[in-house]
Amino acid sequence: MNQLAEDALGILRSVWRRRWLAVATAWVAAILGIVGVSVVPDRWEASARIYVDTQTVLKPLMQGLAFQPDTDQQLRMLARTIVSRPNIEQLLKRQTEAGFKGVDTQHAVDRLIERIKVDASGGNLYTISFRDTDSKRAQAVVKGLVDLFVDTGTVSEQRDSTEAGKFIDDQIKTYEEKLSEAENRLKDFKVRNFSVSGVSNQDYFARTSQISDEVTRLKIAYAAAERSRDALRHELAGEDPHLPADALAANGAPPPPSEIDTRIALQKRELDELLRKYTDQHPDVIAARSTIRQLEAQKAAERSGRSDHTGAAATSPVYQQLRVQLAQAEANVASLGSQLAAQQQRLDELHATASKVPQAEAELAQLNRDYDVIRHNYELLVSRREAASLGVKMDQSAQLADFRVIEPPRVSPKPVFPDRSVLTILAMLASLAIGVAVAYGLALLHPTFSSAHALKEFTRRPVIGTISIYSSNDTLAASHVDLRRIGLAMLAFFVVQGAWIAWVFAHRGP
């Protein structure tokens, strides 16, 4: 500890020996500091804080009903792009009264972009700050940026919704034309290839297989019906059609209907059943009507030219029942025959068009695929248009993001670094430090020793002895005068510096 104190005392003695050099250097450094501080203007910082609330009540209510963009992502992008050249040029045009009038626009834009800061504090809280030598201009710039931030955020949402709706409308018109063209192509193809397999929901092989199975079934049923009819004919041929006279007189029943009438009645009932299932152009209906016309013609012929061999009407109930069953069997055979002929004709037509079917089916599949894709895209665009229209109405009625200026633009009460008032104090302290450093540096270049210990430490040699100095009265008087001069010089230094600092503090303010 004593060694440190002795070293410090040695440094002070070295500086004191060159005190006038230290004072002169401090004065020169102070004058340069005054000039430098006077050149550097005060800088004022204006700032504002904006909070954007994206969690509105309307947003969860419209979830799934309307298209909702990622508002948080849009805000982050807006914060990064707000300080862009077009926006700053627009700001300069708005702020001509804030001191930008007559300034080189390109240079002013570059300077503004460098000094404007937009910081996101998290939670959709944004801070806009700007530093300038003019406090009013700094506040005006921040106010313009806040207005631009809010306006851009609101207008961009509405503009995006409007542009999206317009784009979807244009696409829907285009797809309507494409859908109409696809429908016309499909209709023309079906008209041209009406008789070719593949124009229905089933392909050629499925239709052929189905009709072949139907023909096979009808053939089996037709053969069974013929065997049943033949059996009834054989049984009817061996049955006596007349009852004994006494049994007929005792019965007193009216004569039964003829065979022709029974067959006609049965055929008409069957025709009624077919008309409930099929149209007039169906092969079964056509065949049933043809059978009725033949039976009615036969009945008319019998009435007009009845022969003697016909005799009286049959009176045996068994014979009459067999005749009815035979009529039904013959009608069934005729119906199955007409159905078999129609299905066989369809099968022959399919076999005849077998060479055209693969190409027709391939073309139809392509047309259906194109039509389904266009229709799906059209329906999807229509649903998106409804969602976009609802989104536009939401933007017009209530914004999905609420911009709140929680801290309006204001200027800091004190200048930001470099503050001239702080710089003046730092310049004074620096000038003193420079003066001491110059004096001590010169002492290091040309060292002197104030004690035997310092000489011993420097030379690494033993010191034999020391000689004390004797000061006369004249020498002491000269020392006192020199001391007073140094004191006056330092006093003047602090007075000048104090006055300068006071003047800077007095003229500081926004």
What ranges do the domains of the chain cover?
2-42+419-506, 44-173+382-411, 204-355
| Identity of the residue numbered 353 | T
pTM, entire model: 0.42
Q: Which CATH number applies to 44-173+382-411?
A: 3.30.1890.10
pLDDT at 75: 65
Close Cβ partners of 241 (under 8 Å, ≥ 6 residues apart): 314, 315, 316, 319
* Per-residue pLDDT tens over the stretch 179-219: 888 888 888 877 777 655 444 556 667 777 888 888 899 88
Summarize the confidence of residues 88-116 as an average pLDDT.
69
Summarize the confidence of residues 381-409 as an average pLDDT.
69
Summarize the confidence of residues 52-78 as an average pLDDT.
59
pLDDT at 199: 45
Where are the alpha helices (H) located in 255-316, listed in sequence order? Answer: 259-277, 283-304
Q: Above pLDDT 70, what percent of the chain?
A: 69
pLDDT at 248: 47
* Per-residue pLDDT tens over the stretch 218-264: 889 888 888 888 888 888 777 666 655 555 444 545 555 666 777 78
Spatial distance between the Cα atoms of 58 and 71, rounded to a whole number of angstroms? 13
> Is the model's pLDDT at 421 over the cut of 50?
yes
Query: In Å, how far are 28, 83, 117 from 114, measured between CA atoms?
Result: 35, 9, 8
Summarize the confidence of residues 391-419 as an average pLDDT.
70
For the chain, give the mean pLDDT: 75
> Is the model's pLDDT at 343 over the cut of 80?
yes
Q: Which two tokens stand for residue 189?
A: 């193809």
DSSP string, 399-448: -SSEEEEEEEEEE-SSPBSSPHHHHHHHHHHHHHHHHHHHHHHHHHHS--
Summarize the confidence of residues 261-273 as an average pLDDT.
82
pLDDT at 366: 83
Instruction: Judge contact between 316 and 238, C-beta under 8 A.
Output: no
| Residue of 164, 155, 167, 67 whose CA lies nearest to 391 | 67
Close Cβ partners of 308 (under 8 Å, ≥ 6 residues apart): none
Summarize the confidence of residues 33-44 as an average pLDDT.
80
Spatial distance between the Cα atoms of 265 and 75, rounded to a whole number of angstroms? 86
Which of 176-185, 247-256, 289-298, 478-487 shows the lowest per-residue confidence on average (mean pLDDT)? Answer: 247-256
* Per-residue pLDDT tens over the stretch 435-450: 888 888 887 777 666 6
3-state SS string for 44-71: EEEEEEEEEECCCCHHHHCCCCCCCCCH
Beta bridge partners of 126: 50, 120
Summarize the confidence of residues 317-326 as an average pLDDT.
76
pLDDT at 246: 53
DSSP strands (E only) in 81-226: 116-120, 125-132
* Dihedral sign computed on CA atoms, order 473, 475, 478, 482: negative
pLDDT at 59: 53
* Per-residue pLDDT tens over the stretch 296-314: 887 777 666 544 444 445 5
Spatial distance between the Cα atoms of 474 and 58, rounded to a whole number of angstroms? 98
pLDDT at 495: 92
Summarize the confidence of residues 484-505 as an average pLDDT.
87
